[in-house]
Amino acid sequence: MSSTIIDSKIFGDMFSDAAMRHVWSDENRTAKYLDIERALAKVQGELGIIPKEAADEIVKNCEPSQIDWVKLKAKTEQIGYPIIAVVNQINANCRDKLGEYCHWGATTQDITDTAAVLQIREALALVEADLKDISGSLAKLAKAHRNTPIIGRSNLQQATPITFGYKMASILAGIERHRERLQQLKPRVLVGEFGGASGTLSSLETGAMETQAGLMKELGLGQPLISWHTVRDNFAEVGAFLGIVGGSLGKIAMDVKLLMQTEVAEVFEPYAPGRGSSSTMPQKRNPISCLYIHANISVVRQLAASLMDAMVADHERSTGPWEIEWVAMPEIFCLMSGALKQTKFILAGLEVDAAQMRSNIDMTHGLVMSEAVMMGMGPYIGREYAHDLVYDICREALKQKRHLIELLAEHPEINKHVTREQLEGFCNPMNNLGQAGVMVDRVLNSIKN
Chain segment 116-154, per-residue pLDDT in tens: 999 999 999 999 999 999 999 999 999 999 999 999 999
Q: Which H or E run includes 384?
A: helix 383-400
The DSSP secondary structure of 116-127, one letter per residue, reads HHHHHHHHHHHH
Q: What mean pLDDT comes out for the span 12-32?
A: 96
Q: What is the pLDDT of residues 416-449, one digit of tens each?
A: 898 899 988 998 999 999 999 999 999 999 998 7
Is residue 359 part of the annotated active site? The answer reads no
Quick count: other Cβ atoms within 10 Å of Cβ 207?
Answer: 18
Distance in angstroms (rounded) separating the CA atoms of residues 343 and 175: 12
pLDDT reported for residue 377: 87
Residue 112 predicted with pLDDT over 80: yes
Q: What mean pLDDT comes out for the span 206-233?
A: 97
Buried b (16+ CB within 10 A) or exposed e, 110-148: bbbbbbbbbbbbbbbebbeebbebbbbbbbbbbeebbeb
Strand duo 267-268 + 351-352: pairing = antiparallel
Residue 277 predicted with pLDDT over 70: no
| Structure confidence at residue 177 as a pLDDT band (50, 70, 90) | very high
Q: What mean pLDDT comes out for the span 40-64?
A: 97
Helix residue ranges, H only, 310-369: 321-348, 354-362
| Structure confidence at residue 1 as a pLDDT band (50, 70, 90) | confident
Helix residue ranges, H only, 158-198: 164-189
Distance in angstroms (rounded) separating the CA atoms of residues 48 and 55: 10
Mean pLDDT, all residues of the chain: 95
**Catalytic residue, candidates 278, 298, 359, 446:** 278
Residue 410 predicted with pLDDT over 80: yes
Q: What mean pLDDT comes out for the span 78-97?
A: 96
Residue 33 predicted with pLDDT over 80: yes
Residue 281 predicted with pLDDT over 90: no
Tell me if residue 154 falls in helix, strand or coil.
strand
Q: What mean pLDDT comes out for the span 201-208?
A: 95
**Catalytic residue, candidates 153, 181, 285, 317:** 317
Query: CA 123, 195, 222, 173: dihedral to nearest 10 degrees?
Result: 50
Is residue 278 part of the annotated active site? The answer reads yes
Residue 396 predicted with pLDDT over 70: yes
Buried b (16+ CB within 10 A) or exposed e, 41-75: bbbbbeeebbeeebbebbbbbbeeeebeeeebeeb
